[in-house]
A and B are shown apart, each in its own frame.
Chain A
Amino acid sequence: GAVVSQHPSWVICKSGTSVKIECRSLDFQATTMFWYRQFPKQSLMLMATSNEGSKATYEQGVEKDKFLINHASLTLSTLTVTSAHPEDSSFYICSAPQGGDYGYTFGSGTRLTVV
């Protein structure tokens, strides 16, 4: 079946540094990638939608200058957390629709800890 490879699976970084998270669609083309964030014991909150070759669409309240999204090819979307702060510590997950309207494949998630 369709696979979205997400890495790193976990990362610890210092405050003020930037972290890049990659999501690759391995056996299908992902023209769209959804980026979610999950706080402990809470729902997955949609942060932004990236579209190959165009600017990402950010949800209300998400800082586009802080969470840089790039979707340069049909198989790769990246989320860069810039100038990370401890409050950015969270679980980030990507998801791509595949095959028709209703199939969604999720990456395995990235646990980010900012110290």
Chain B
Amino acid sequence: DQQVKQNSPSLSVQEGRISILNCDYTNSMFDYFLWYKKYPAEGPTFLISISSIKDKNEDGRFTVFLNKSAKHLSLHIVPSQPGDSAVYFCAASGISSGSARQLTFGSGTQLTVLP
């Protein structure tokens, strides 16, 4: 049972245009969402996050939108640059019984920005 889903395994965008990566979740206990960027054979690097009390968070070229009623979030990158080409993972976190929150990851979307 995938609690975090990224239904598009790949996305190609022309340089300078907007990239929109989508993510859906099913667990209503998730209250914090993160996007990570990953290159092959490297660990994920944090990109941007959003708390469930917000519906938008912006950081430079990156904006994350959260629609709680639809259990949907999206990452917008504008303008897209060739260096943005990587796999993007959506991750969600919620209250857990442990002392630290676990992350549940989507399956990732390979973004390719064409020059």
* A contacts, CB < 8 Å to B: 4, 6, 9-10, 31-32, 34, 36, 41-46, 49, 51, 57, 91, 93, 95, 97, 101-109, 111
Q: Is A106 within 8 A of B43, CB to CB?
A: yes
Instruction: Say whether B107 contacts A106, CB under 8 Å.
Output: no
B53 at the interface (CB under 8 A from A): no
Question: Which of B9, B46, B106, B107 is in CB contact (< 8 Å) with A104?
Answer: B46
CB within 8 Å of A: which residues of B? 4, 9, 32, 34, 36, 41-46, 49, 89, 93, 98-108
Interface contact B101-A97, CB-CB below 8 Å: yes
User: Are A93 and B108 closer than 8 Å at their CB atoms?
Assistant: no
Complex Cα distance, B107 from A108, in Å, reads 18
* CB pair A95 B41 closer than 8 Å: no
- Measured CA separation A34–B102 after assembly (Å): 8
With A32-B98, A97-B100 known as contacts, the answer to whether A43 contacts B43 (CB < 8 A) is no
Instruction: Take A41-B9, A43-B89, A104-B103 as given contacts and tell me if A49 and B45 are in contact as well, using a CB distance cutoff of 8 Å.
Output: no
Beta-carbon contact of A44 and B9 below 8 Å: no
14 A-B residue contacts at CB 8 Å? A9-B41, A32-B99, A42-B107, A42-B108, A43-B105, A44-B105, A57-B98, A95-B43, A101-B93, A102-B49, A102-B93, A106-B44, A106-B45, A111-B41
